[in-house]
Each structure stands twice: as structure tokens, then as C-alpha cells.
């Protein structure tokens, strides 16, 4: 009986030792392999649901499956995101396509190599007191809601020329208003919600959950959720794209393809 117990104990110890060794030495090659992968740097304009494909690709290790390691940072706006790519501080910028068009007009060396969001996700949020003053809700005619934008004071945007600015100008122009009369303050993405709740700005346009958080706090009201498709021109087009310098993409085609594939794979999950 003693011999049998000793045998069982010895067997258990051996199995535990084997398992530990397998985990240590079996996981080491995989860790070394990931460490040896080339690293790419990706900046996003802001941190919200518009860039969900990037966060999913990072979480599900799609970048590693495509043979690269991705370091993702938040630039705080479309313009600084693009500037980082142009200045070679990062390899890629995930931001709005309209910002890319404006940058190209100004001669910036940028191209889009992938589109990961074909639905505009921005929502225009106003202070709750403003919605109550003009007696408008999300069920009001879209033209009435857009008209409210012409009656506001300071409007928040992430950075000059960013989609958070351009979209409000577009909506005002659509109802024959004068976009040049709008007054914008550029605060970066993270500060817009708190600025609205503290009455620094009257409205801003960002993707969820920025506006929704101010509404939950009882300070803001999501007046125009553009993701619902109420404005025909803002549906079914490459809204968010992955940008790179042309010379970087040409000199590093495998890195560019790997990054694009990883994000596209993540984006495809939303359509299943």
C-alpha cells in the first residue's frame, strides 16, 4: 500500500513538472516569435466606436496572425493623426476620409490603403437646455434639428478641419445656412464631453459613446444621430480609412497589407 501511494505521488509530481516545463518552454518560442515580428505604429483620431475594427483586431490578435505587432495610440484629432504620419512619427493613421481629401488638396503625402467603416457614426450632441429651448427631439424633422445648429454659440471640435468640424458645417450648409458664421473651439476628442457638460460649448459631433455619456449624465442630448441614415449623402461610403505615406506603403508593402488585412478581418465581424 505504501509503495502504491509513493508511486501515485511520484506520478503526480512528474505530471505537474512536465506540465510546468511544457508551459514554460512551449510558450517561450511563441513569445519569442511575437517579439521578433516587425512592429507598426497606428494612430487613431479619437478613441470611440468609429474605430471599433482596430480595437477588435488588437484584442483578437489579428495583427499577430498577419505577422506584425501593432502599437495603437490616440492622436486626439484627425489633423494631428495625419500630421504624425506625414512627419513619420507613426506608420499609419486611422481617420476620416474627408480629412484625407482636404489633406491631399493641401499637398500632404497621404493615401488610403484600407476602409474599415462604411457608415458615418457621428452624432451631433447639444446641451440639454438648448434642446428644451428650441423644443426639438430626435423625432423632430431633420431640417428643424439642423436649423438649431445655426443658433448656437461655441461649437466644439477635435482639431481644425477635422470631421467633427466639417460635418456641422455640412449640415448647416444643407439647410442654406452660412457655415462661415459658425464659431468653433478646438479641444481634442476627450475634452468635448466635459466641455459641453460645463457649458463651455453648446454642441459637438463625435461617434458614440461621447454624446450618449453626456445625455446619461443629464447634461447633453444627442439631437442628430447620423448613424441612423437620415441624411442620404452620408450613407454607404468609406467613412473611416487607414492612411499611410505613399513612400512607406511602396517600401513596406508587406507591412501595409498585413495591417490592412487585420483591420478588414475585424471589420468583417460586424457584418456577420
pLDDT at 2 over 60: no
C-beta of residue 218 within 8 angstroms of C-beta of residue 176: no
pLDDT at 132 over 60: yes
The Cβ of residue 258 has, within 10 Å, a number of other Cβ atoms equal to 22
For the chain, the distance separating the N- and C-terminal CA atoms, rounded to the nearest angstrom, is: 60
Q: How do residues 239-272 score in pLDDT, each as one tens digit?
A: 999 999 999 999 999 999 999 999 999 999 987 6
For Cα atoms 235, 212, 151, give the angle at the middle one, nearest 5 degrees: 75
pLDDT of residue 270: 82
Q: What's the whole-model pTM score?
A: 0.74
C-beta of residue 137 within 8 angstroms of C-beta of residue 194: no
pLDDT at 178 over 90: yes
Domain covering 123-234, topology: D-Maltodextrin-Binding Protein; domain 2 (3.40.190)
The owner of cell 509513493 is 6
Report, in this order, helix, strand and coil percent for the chain, each rounded to 5.
Answer: 55, 20, 30
Superfamily of domain 36-118+237-271: Periplasmic binding protein-like II (3.40.190.10)
On the 0-12 / 13-18 / 19+ scale of CB atoms within 10 A, 21 is exposed
Same fold, 36-118+237-271 and 123-234: yes
Domain borders along the chain are 36-118+237-271, 123-234
Q: What are phi and psi of 197, to 5 degrees?
A: -70, -20
Q: How do residues 200-222 score in pLDDT, each as one tens digit?
A: 999 999 999 999 999 999 999 99
Residues 145-171: what's their mean pLDDT?
Answer: 95
3-state secondary structure of 246: helix
pLDDT of residue 23: 47
Chain-centre distance for alpha carbon 63: 17
Q: Is 128 left (phi over 0), alpha (psi -120 to 50) or beta?
A: alpha
pLDDT of residue 37: 96
Amino acid at each position: 500500500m505504501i509503495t502504491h501511494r509513493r508511486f501515485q505521488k511520484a506520478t503526480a509530481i512528474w505530471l505537474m513538472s512536465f506540465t510546468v516545463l511544457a508551459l514554460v518552454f512551449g510558450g517561450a518560442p511563441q513569445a519569442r516569435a511575437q517579439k521578433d515580428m516587425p512592429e507598426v505604429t497606428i494612430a487613431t483620431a479619437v478613441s470611440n466606436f468609429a474605430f471599433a475594427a482596430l480595437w477588435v483586431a488588437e484584442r483578437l490578435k489579428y495583427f499577430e496572425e498577419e505577422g506584425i505587432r501593432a502599437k495603437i495610440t490616440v492622436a486626439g484629432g484627425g489633423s494631428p493623426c495625419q500630421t504624425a504620419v506625414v512627419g513619420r512619427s507613426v506608420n499609419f493613421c486611422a481617420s476620416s476620409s474627408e480629412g484625407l481629401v482636404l489633406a491631399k488638396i493641401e499637398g500632404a503625402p497621404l493615401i488610403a490603403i484600407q476602409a474599415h467603416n462604411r457608415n458615418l457614426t457621428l452624432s451631433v450632441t447639444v446641451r440639454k437646455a438648448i434642446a428644451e429651448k428650441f423644443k426639438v427631439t430626435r423625432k423632430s424633422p431633420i431640417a428643424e434639428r439642423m436649423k438649431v445648429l445655426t443658433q448656437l454659440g461655441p461649437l466644439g471640435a477635435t482639431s481644425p478641419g477635422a470631421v467633427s468640424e466639417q460635418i456641422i458645417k455640412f449640415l448647416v450648409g444643407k439647410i442654406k445656412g452660412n457655415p462661415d458664421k459658425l464659431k468653433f473651439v478646438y479641444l481634442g476628442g476627450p475634452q468635448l464631453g466635459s466641455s459641453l457638460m460645463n457649458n463651455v460649448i453648446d454642441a459637438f459631433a463625435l461617434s458614440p459613446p461621447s454624446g450618449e455619456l453626456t445625455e446619461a449624465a443629464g447634461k447633453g442630448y444627442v439631437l442628430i444621430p447620423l448613424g441612423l441614415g437620415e441624411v442620404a449623402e452620408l450613407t454607404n461610403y468609406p467613412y473611416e480609412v487607414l492612411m499611410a505615406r505613399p513612400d512607406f506603403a511602396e517600401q513596406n508593402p508587406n507591412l501595409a497589407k498585413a495591417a490592412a488585412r487585420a483591420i478588414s478581418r475585424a471589420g468583417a465581424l460586424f457584418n456577420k
